[in-house]
Chain A
Amino acid sequence: MSDALVRLNGVSKVFRGRGGAVTAVDDVDLEVRRGETVGLVGESGSGKSTVARLVMGLQPVSAGTVEFDGCPMTSIKGRQAASFRRRAQMIFQNPFGSLLPHFTAAANVAEPLRLHRVVDAAAGQVRARELLELVGLPPRSAELYPHQFSGGQQQRIAIARALALEPELLVCDEPTSALDVSVQAQILSLLERLKDELGLTMLFISHHLGVVEKLADTVAVMSRGRIVEQGPAEALFEQPRHPYTRQLLAAVLPVRGEPVPLPEDPWRPEDDDGVRMIEVGPGHRARIGAAEQPQAVR
């Protein structure tokens, strides 16, 4: 518990627009420990990307605190902010869009090194090539431009760029959702390998339950801005406690096993109003209040 690299305490984010206020993230508590991969799963619009942006400090929180390595982010200013930037990096869903189109692959990867004046230009080029090799791209790709790569290769470049500063935290927002399944498998294998080799700490976001289960040590399930259940991946997927988690699992169509019938009476987010998170197992919490008794599931 003490080794939390990132900790969100009662974090909310409200967007006010013409159509009124949208609570994208609602009172979220979340912790990412060093060396651990936390998976965040939920349907689109549930607030996953917003959590990622709040963790990265790309948007200010509306309420609550985000702490990075024990230090509240709101108090990080000036020089400190620059050093925080080096410690957390992010990869995005759309790899082509997130790369600089007018920079070569190597220049894209070297750019964070240049920005933070880590090494000089020549050393940056050398380092960029090493990183490209680390993510499995051939040396000749260094001088090519992003549009000359396939989607999977572009995502590899984005990963190399995110790793350039040797960040302590890597936030991945749907990194494989725009990719073909064969390429998704490649990228996941790459991330698994990097996780082992470099001891990365990751916040891994996906709407795909199987993908999250594959990569994450701990999983949090989000719906309408709230976390409804969180716990060790094994426990959560084998013994889901919240009706929404079960519903989500039932909706997934497996290739190998048999599909589960959908629950008769679908759960609605309103059902959770006023319901508290409770401990349902070691490190496993669900928003099922005190009223509901633990019971055997599935």
Chain B
Amino acid sequence: MTADVLLDVQELQVQFRTERGMVRAVDGLSYSVARGEAVAVVGESGSGKSVGARSLLGLLPKTASITGGQAIFDGNDLVGMPERAMRAIRGRRIGMVFQNAMEAMSPTITLERQLTEHLIWHGVCSKAEARERAIRALGEVGIPEPERRIRMYPFQLSGGMRQRAMIAMATAIEPDLLIADEPTTAVDVTVQRQILELLKAQKERGTGIIMITHDLGVARFFCDTAVVMYAGQVVERGPMAEFIECPAHPYARGLLGSTIDVGDRHRKLSVIPGSPVDVANRPSGCPFRTRCALADADRCTHAQSLESVSPGRVAACWRSHDHV
């Protein structure tokens, strides 16, 4: 895995300037993505998944700033990269897929222009060739009659089809890395499955994928590595199979126990008490200690660092060894 690392994120920190002062939305995010690897970033809403991903592409609002860490992509640090250099990477070498396609598409522009413009802009191919590629890409994501549909506007497509068109848009240029932020959250299960199959094909072609999701089923189906975030911090990271088999961090265990599968009729739900932590009021020490059943007043009030729990796995809880 280390041989073919595409992206290496180390101790990334992002702050927001708000009415109530500085908020550390992401506070120490580390992971790496190799070619053909899919990394799942999971966690509850507000845990910093999107902010962490957007900061890689310089897509943060003006009130945000990266205050620490690095993100080495192909030998260059994305953090602090000048906008010009970033533009050459964004959309060309790193593609992005959003939860809501409308966010990525201009409502007043036809699919053709949305899909070909950046191909031409990045100088990948000529206009005619771009059109051909776009039609092919639409066909590949399972949009029927791509020649006709390419002349349509985004609002003329159904939600699921729009989502697929956006994937076509992000992948037509064959990026090295694809960041997908909840790409299937807004679609039905059957469409979700189709979209994941599409992304799987992309992955098999060697694209590295960062899959941001709150759905552990999706993460497990699609990804090789799990990164669990809580309150802006990574609490557990490791191979997906082992994580699902026996999560090490109490929060990760709670999350897994709360997830409902078909066939769970008689399984007693394990419930994490309390509400997801607001990063603006993150408790000192272990951020999970206000909800953790195992918390004690002594060690948990100290900051927890990511420690190895088994080869390739780390967790930020002094008790995690007990569980692996």
- Chain A residue with Cβ nearest B197: A262
- For chain B, residues 177 to 194, give those with C-beta under 8 angstroms from any C-beta of chain A: 188-190, 192-193
Interface pair B254/A251, CB less than 8 Å apart:
no
Contacting A182 at CB < 8 Å: which of B192, B254, B262, B263? B254
B280 CB–A CB distance under 8 Å: no
B170 within 8 A of A: no
Per the bound structure, the CA–CA distance linking A259 and B244 in Å amounts to: 14
Tell me if A189 and B275 are in contact (CB < 8 A): no
Q: Is B284 on the interface with A (CB-CB < 8 A)?
A: no
Q: How far is the CA of A255 from the CA of B192 in the complex (A)?
A: 15
Q: A181-B44, A210-B262 are in contact. Are A255 and B244 (CB under 8 A)?
A: yes
Residues of A within 8 A of B254 (CB): 182
Docked complex Cα distance between A189 and B268 (Å): 9
With A and B bound together, what is the CA distance between A184 and B272 in angstroms?
Answer: 10
**What's the A-B contact tally at a CB cutoff of 8 Å?**
110
Q: Interface residues of A toward B: which range?
A: 35 or more
- Are B269 and A188 in touch, CB under 8 angstroms? yes
Question: Is A256 positioned at the interface, with any CB of B under 8 Å from its CB?
Answer: yes
For the complex formed, measure the closest distance between the CB of A62 and the CB atoms of chain B, giving whole angstroms.
25
Within 8 A of B (CB), among A149-166: 150, 152-153
Chain B residue at minimal CB-CB distance from A178: B45
A183 on interface, CB distance cutoff 8 Å: yes
Task: Say yes or no: is B264 at the interface (Cβ < 8 Å to chain A).
Answer: yes
Interface pair B275/A150, CB less than 8 Å apart: yes
- Choose one: B262, B273, B276; the contact of A252 (CB below 8 Å): B262
Question: In chain B, what residue has the closest Cβ to A253?
Answer: B217
Q: Which residues of B contact A180 (CB under 8 A)?
A: 44-45, 214, 276
Let me know if B271 and A254 touch, CB within 8 A. Answer: no
For residue B257, which residues in chain A have a CB less than 8 angstroms away from its CB? 185
**B265→A233 contact, CB < 8 A:** yes
- The tally of residues in B whose CB lies under 8 Å from a CB in A reads 35
CA distance A193 to B262 in the complex (A): 20
Q: How many Å lie between the Cα of A182 and that of B258 in the bound state?
A: 5
Q: Which of B215, B260, B265, B276 contacts A150 (CB 8 A)?
A: B276
Instruction: Give B260's nearest chain A residue, CB to CB.
Output: A210
The answer on a CB contact under 8 Å between B218 and A253 is yes
Closest residue of chain A to B256 (Cβ to Cβ) is A255
- Find the B residue at minimum CB distance from A188: B269
Nearest CB of chain B from residue A234's CB, rounded to whole Å: 7
**Given that A150-B275, A185-B272, A251-B190 are known contacts, is A237 also in contact with B261, CB under 8 Å in the complex?**
no
Which residue of A is nearest B258, CB measured? Answer: A185
Q: Are B265 and A152 touching (Cβ within 8 A)? A: no
* Interface check A205, CB cutoff 8 A: no
A100 within 8 A of B: no
Assembly CA distance A11 to B158 (angstroms): 27
CB distance from B24 to the nearest CB of A (A): 19
Apart from A43-B188, A153-B275, A182-B276, 5 more pairs, CB < 8 Å: A44-B188, A189-B271, A248-B190, A254-B262, A254-B263
List chain B positions with a Cβ less than 8 A from chain A.
Answer: 44-45, 188-190, 192-193, 196, 214-218, 220-221, 244, 254-265, 269-273, 275-276
A residues in contact (CB < 8 Å) with B? 43-44, 150, 152-153, 180-186, 188-189, 207-211, 213-214, 233-234, 237, 247-249, 251-257, 259, 262, 266
**Sample (11) of A-B pairs whose CB atoms are under 8 Å apart:** A182-B258, A182-B276, A183-B276, A207-B189, A209-B189, A213-B264, A214-B260, A233-B265, A234-B265, A237-B265, A256-B244
